[in-house]
């Protein structure tokens, strides 16, 4: 079952993990832009 999968496997297919990763990228980009 899904619950038995390792965390890294679950994160690879999780829409939440993908959304969080995209949010982190967005904040990092915004922070770099603000420093200029």
**Three-state secondary structure string covering 1-36:** CHHHCCHHHHHHHCHHHHHHHHHHHHHHHHHHHHHC
Question: pTM of this prediction?
Answer: 0.61
Supply 29's token pair. 């980009």
Q: In the chain, how many domains are there?
A: 1
Segments in the chain below pLDDT 70: none
Determine the structural domain holding residue 12 and report its residue range.
2-35
d(CA 5, CA 20) in angstroms, rounded, equals: 20
Predicted pLDDT of residue 5: 95
d(CA 12, CA 10) in angstroms, rounded, equals: 5
Predicted pLDDT of residue 11: 86
């Amino acid at each position: 079952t899904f619950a038995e999968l390792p965390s890294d496997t679950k994160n690879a297919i999780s829409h939440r993990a993908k959304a969080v990763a995209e949010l982190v990228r967005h904040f990092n980009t915004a922070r770099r832009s603000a420093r200029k």
